[in-house]
Structure 1
Amino acid sequence: MTRNALRLSYVWRIGLLASSSLAIVNAAQAADPLVKACAKNGEFVIGFSQANNAEPYRQHVNDELQAAAKAVPQFTLQIADGAGNVNTQTSQVDNFITQKVDLLLISPFEAAPLTPAVKRAMDAGIPVIELDRKTNGEAGKDYTSFIGGDNYKIALAAGQYTSKTLLPDGGEAAVLEGLPSSTPAVERLNGFKDGVKANPKIQIVAEQAADWLPDKAQTAFAAMLQAHPDIKMVYASNDMMAAGALLAAKGAGKTVKIIGTDGLPGPAGGIEAVAKGDWSATFTYPTGAKEAIDMAKSVLLDCASSVPATVTVDTTAITPDNAKQMMGK
């Protein structure tokens, strides 16, 4: 072998060794756990920044989270009520960062204003799981994971149910949107509007934001019925607004088909409203509480090096066919 050939062979082997060493280092780095202080028998504090405890769905989330966390002796769950105020919620997230909680759960009241607070938590080395609502950015990068239902698909199903079952012959429809600056409100509005496109005889003659609140929904829908007395159905982006729409319809002396979203249990929930015949349907929006605590176990107890960027929880359509069977479940 010539001297040049020997030199090339030597350079090639050195390059191969360097590449192999780099690959080993990269693999080791990739295998690092998401948090350093993870341990099977450790004790961990999980902070949860809730958007607004006053909403029945939010309280339902809290109840299920507390039950799931209680089953894990190593976990202490602290819940802070954002009270529907982005400044309050931001301060509470910053307090959790100062406390150095081991993991942060958050349901942001609004997306953009809470994005910087989530970034500060991530920069502080605290994994952030967003529940039900998202901040701006990319799951798995700007925050650890998102757990929730597919709001667009849930609303799409509601629109398709309207097209095929509620208004097969067409007619006028209305939409009560949630808080426009929250991601579920936008996704549910777009999903429903796309779903009813399956029936060109249906016209959406009115849509208005009622910010998830029953009193605002009642006022808004009363005005809609006055302006459009031939409205046959209304899609409400949550059960609370559906309840407000029912009061408005009764006040106007009209019978209107109503679809809610959340499928809350209990006497004031959507499941019973469908079972009683007050509403035509609602679509469950599971809390994701069990999935969130399971993910926290993976991160804090099992020292996971990665978790799914998105976990989608399934929905169930609650209609007159299954409402009574679903009560109490």
Structure 2
Amino acid sequence: MSSSITVFSAKRRLLGTAGAFVLAGALIAGCTSNEPESTDDGDENTAEESGDDGAASGGNANDETGETVTIGFSGPEADHGWLAAINSSALAEADKYDDVELRAAEGTNDASLQIQQVETFINEGVDAIVLLPTDGAALTDIATRAMDAGIPVVNVDREFSSPFAARTTILGDNYGMGVSAGTYACQLIEENNIDDPVIAEIAGIDALPLTQDRSQGFADALDACGEDVDNRVAAEFTVQSGEAVTSNLLQAAPEIDIIWNHDDDQGVGVKAAFDNAGRDEFFFIGGAGSSNAMEWIQQGEMEATVLYPPTQAADGIRLARLLAQGKGMSDLVQVEVPRRIVLNAPVVTADNVDEYMHLGFDS
């Protein structure tokens, strides 16, 4: 199978040629990394940022047109809403800059094909590569080859197994998602004077480190206010699995005060199970930040959702452009792009949903 690379420039707009991309079909690894997050940053700099719409704004010298650079982008297939948003946001972000020529590879879950795609980027001599690897460990060697060839690599979401494989890494915060959800649950308990609350958790695939990190963060935050999870089930990041495990949960627990669901894509099924059972006595908290979740919050059918920013690859394009042009991040005193950036996991509620609505993705 040969790799497929599509070239876009300022004169050939990405969004008008979206049909050239296959953005469907993906393993559920979906909203997240399939590699455990490193907790040892060494001498790396860590910047905490909240997701934004990535719009190039006036008044920032970094946004002024500079030397044209070629960026290679390779991401996953996308039958999961978050993954589709990752890919489309990267394409749209590159299209905002007159000085960026994007070479976008066809989305894939085949590590061997993705290795071929990166090899093509290296042979073409691109100025930078943005890579959300199908498997971080499997793509480490080829990413290291790119770095050795003088091509800075921006590693998105799923980490490589060597620090030499990327110039910078941009990540969502899975543990932080759990902490945000648990902290908000504690707030709800206090504000509503809930005695001996029954707390339920609908996780994603338990075998994945990302799910383990989210659950651990949730448990740690609840422990801080003297609570714990009473009922827990695990789905598979799909609508069907979300509905099935939630139906079982509702039968096992006749009364629930708070439910946290890890993933808003599977949350479509979770919500269907709620509706089918006629259950709405609990505060419903989601995860990732889909358009469905945002709308349910606006309509009063959902309490909150915790973002896992779908802007990571778009931010990766911005960082790759800065690296290729020898620039730093204008809001930092430091003159170079940091080695590691971890995005924030904010809680979206009725009070701030309008601020985050533009980041919502289709489930």
Residues of 2 paired with 1:83 and 1:134: CA distance? 17
SS in 2 for 1:113: coil
Conserved 8 A contact 1:163-1:202:
no
SS in 2 for 1:240: coil
Alignment match, 1:174: 201
Structure 1, residues 162-205: CA drift from partner, whole Å, max 9, x if none? Answer: 12205843213123125744x54343222122112134343342
Alignment match, 1:259: 285
Q: Which has the larger radius of gyration?
A: 1
Conserved 8 A contact 1:53-1:81:
no
How far apart are residue 240 of structure 1 and its match?
A: 0.8
Alignment match, 1:319: 349
Structure 1, residues 8-35: CA drift from partner, whole Å, max 9, x if none? Answer: xxxxxxxxxxxxxxxxxxxxxxxxxxxx
Among candidates 32, 41, 63, match of residue 88 of structure 2: 63
**Which amino acid letter does the alignment assign opposite residue 319 of structure 1?**
T
Residues of 1 paired with 2:292 and 2:221: CA distance? 24
- The structure-2 alpha-carbon separation of the partners of 1:209 and 1:294, relative to structure 1 and needing over 3 Å to count, comes to same
Conserved 8 A contact 1:222-1:248:
yes
How far apart are residue 130 of structure 1 and its match?
A: 1.5
- Among all aligned residue pairs of Structure 1 and Structure 2, give the percentage whose two residues are the same amino acid: 27
Residues of 2 paired with 1:216 and 1:97: CA distance? 40
Conserved 8 A contact 1:241-1:260:
no
Q: Where do 1:92-241 residues align within 5 Å?
A: 92-138=117-163, 141-165=164-188, 168-169=194-195, 170-178=197-205, 180-181=207-208, 184-210=210-236, 212-241=237-266
- The structure-2 alpha-carbon separation of the partners of 1:205 and 1:91, relative to structure 1 and needing over 3 Å to count, comes to farther
Residues of 2 paired with 1:134 and 1:232: CA distance? 36
Conserved 8 A contact 1:177-1:189:
no
Conserved 8 A contact 2:288-2:306:
yes
Among candidates 308, 316, 323, match of residue 285 of structure 1: 308
Among candidates 313, 321, 326, match of residue 302 of structure 1: 326
Residues of 1 paired with 2:227 and 2:166: CA distance? 43
Residues of 2 paired with 1:90 and 1:220: CA distance? 36
How far apart are residue 325 of structure 1 and its match?
A: 5.9
Conserved 8 A contact 1:154-1:283:
yes
Q: Where do 1:266-281 residues align within 5 Å?
A: 268-281=291-304
Alignment match, 1:6: none
Residues of 2 paired with 1:285 and 1:145: CA distance? 19
Structure 1, residues 247-268: CA drift from partner, whole Å, max 9, x if none? Answer: 122233322432222223xxx4
Structure 1, residues 284-304: CA drift from partner, whole Å, max 9, x if none? Answer: 233135542332232212267
- The structure-2 alpha-carbon separation of the partners of 1:100 and 1:66, relative to structure 1 and needing over 3 Å to count, comes to same
**Which amino acid letter does the alignment assign opposite residue 223 of structure 2?**
K
- Structure 1 stretches (4+) deviating beyond 6 angstroms? none
Uncovered stretches (5+) of structure 1, i.e. residues with no partner: 1-39
**Which amino acid letter does the alignment assign opposite residue 316 of structure 1?**
P
Conserved 8 A contact 1:152-1:190:
yes
Higher helix share: 1
Structure 1, residues 199-236: CA drift from partner, whole Å, max 9, x if none? Answer: 434334224251x3222222232233334444443322
Residues of 2 paired with 1:215 and 1:235: CA distance? 18
Conserved 8 A contact 1:45-1:75:
yes
- The structure-2 alpha-carbon separation of the partners of 1:125 and 1:278, relative to structure 1 and needing over 3 Å to count, comes to same
Conserved 8 A contact 1:82-1:92:
no
Task: Please tell me the root mean square deviation across aligned C-alpha atoms, in Å.
Answer: 3.0
Structure 1 length as normaliser, TM-score? Answer: 0.73
Structure 1, residues 290-326: CA drift from partner, whole Å, max 9, x if none? Answer: 5423322322122679531112333432113333565
Residues of 1 paired with 2:120 and 2:189: CA distance? 48
Residues of 1 paired with 2:123 and 2:241: CA distance? 37
Structure number with the bigger relative contact order (C-alpha 8 A, sep ≥ 6) is 2
**Which amino acid letter does the alignment assign opposite residue 131 of structure 2?**
I
Residues of 2 paired with 1:68 and 1:325: CA distance? 19
Structure 2 length as normaliser, TM-score? Answer: 0.67
Conserved 8 A contact 1:163-1:196:
yes
**Which amino acid letter does the alignment assign opposite residue 247 of structure 1?**
A
Aligned residue pair count: 283
- The structure-2 alpha-carbon separation of the partners of 1:87 and 1:165, relative to structure 1 and needing over 3 Å to count, comes to farther
How far apart are residue 271 of structure 1 and its match?
A: 1.4
